[in-house]
Amino acid sequence: MRHITCFAALAATLLASAAPLQAEVVLTTPTGFVTRDTAQIAAPPMAVWLALTKPAAWWNDEHTWSGDAANLTLTPQAGGCFCETIPGGDAGRASAMDGSARHATVVQAFPLKVMRLRGGLGPLQGEPAEGVLTITLKEIPGGTRVLWEYNVGGPMRFEIPMISAAVDQVMSQQLAGLRNHLGGLPDTSAPAASASEPATDDTSDDAEPSAFDEQFGDLDE
């Protein structure tokens, strides 16, 4: 399918004319990785939140199973589905059965603050590995800063350097789509997390919290 082909090919190039994104693979381990992307959007958190719940308006067609983002829906509540209808088509018959796909399940919806989903996106859907996508909104002068983090871990039949780079490209492309849909701000802020600290293989519960978690830890209070 186009979805898998484009993912394995490291995705399409981000639009050069758009406001800049900060994107990187911030951690790799033998069994997983974390990608983190940042964008500044010229819209208030309410507008960004509402747009997040309508991925059909900004998700890239190339990264759907049906080839058309118009088939995507997202229910912004715990247990809600980020799902896709796959039209069956006529195929010369009186009727045909539609298909469907669950991209991820919403595990936290904190309006105007955090959207968190759990699921293996793209070819990761066919692997035992699990992914957690956390999208955090923070109001800034003139708009909203969005941090988009995808944390993947578990058994998978991919080489970590290859799949992590591919996923980072695709995640960046979706965030760019959201930003371009609403309009971008010049990104003059410092990176959300320092890349100077070496990645480690420590995935235990005792690991130090990430800069992302520290920056937005007050949301859990």
How far apart (Å, rounded) are the C-alpha atoms in residues 8 and 32?
17
pLDDT in tens, 168-184: 999 999 999 999 999 99
Q: Using the predicted structure, report yes or no on whether residue 200 has a pLDDT greater than 90.
A: no
Give residue 96's pLDDT. 73
pLDDT in tens, 157-168: 999 999 999 999
pLDDT band at 97 (very low <50, low <70, confident <90, very high): confident
Q: Using the predicted structure, report yes or no on whether residue 131 has a pLDDT greater than 50.
A: yes
How far apart (Å, rounded) are the C-alpha atoms in residues 85 and 64?
10
List of domains in the chain: 29-60+109-189 (3.30.530.20)
How far apart (Å, rounded) are the C-alpha atoms in residues 39 and 49?
14
3 state DSSP class of 168: helix
Give residue 91's pLDDT. 56
Q: Using the predicted structure, report yes or no on whether residue 202 has a pLDDT greater than 50.
A: no
pLDDT in tens, 5-35: 444 343 333 333 334 467 799 999 999 999 9
How far apart (Å, rounded) are the C-alpha atoms in residues 197 and 27?
10
Of the candidates 174, 188, 142, which has an alpha carbon nearest to the alpha carbon of residue 41?
142
Other beta carbons less than 10 A from residue 41's beta carbon: 26
pLDDT band at 82 (very low <50, low <70, confident <90, very high): very high
